[in-house]
Amino acid sequence: MAKSDHDPQQAAVYLMEKRALRGHFRHKCTLTLLRRWARRLCRLHQVPPVTVIVRAERGFGASYLNNRITLDPKCGRNMLSFAHELAHHVVAHRHPYAQDHGVTFMKWYACLLDHMRVLPLVGMLAICREYGIAIAPVTAVQRHPQLTHRSNTTWLSKNAP
């Protein structure tokens, strides 16, 4: 079986990230912030904690393997790469037989981007539709974490009651 047969959406997902979400790759985040998001979202979605490290990656900006997210210091320390790898972690524990970039992965990826206030869910659904990427239906089970002062302060200041 060819790699594309096992993960038919992989090329489309990478193309979509490169073209439609490219602006999010430019923002670097601190490792402390990414680890805080990892703890919070793993707890929210009831999956085991994930280790987040920064180390040079050959050929990729980030990778996920055995409960560890590795981010490249030059191009991987951004919310988009982090959310992509965290979605792999959530899917690996909640849906162990799901395809790497399949419909279930895309649902969790979209929900995590929405939780982190990077991209609204409706925006991600529209982008997926535009690029022909299948995504599982999103239910009310995926809820927003409670907003606190440690959340995205820019979003909080604009949307305060």
Total domain count for the chain? 1
- CA 54 to CA 40: how far, in whole Å? 19
Q: What domain range is 141 assigned to? A: 3-159
pTM of the complete model beyond 0.75 = yes
* Residue 111 near residue 121 (C-beta atoms within 8 A): yes
Count other C-beta atoms under 10 Å from residue 134's C-beta.
Answer: 13
Which residue, 112, 131, 119, 117, is CA-closest to 50?
A: 112
- CA 19 to CA 146: how far, in whole Å? 31
Can you give the pLDDT of all 161 residues of the chain as single tens digits? 344 457 889 999 999 999 998 877 778 889 999 999 999 999 999 999 999 999 987 777 899 999 999 999 988 888 999 999 999 999 999 999 999 999 999 999 999 999 998 899 999 999 999 999 999 988 754 555 555 555 555 555 555 44
Which residue, 30, 79, 72, is CA-closest to 55?
A: 72
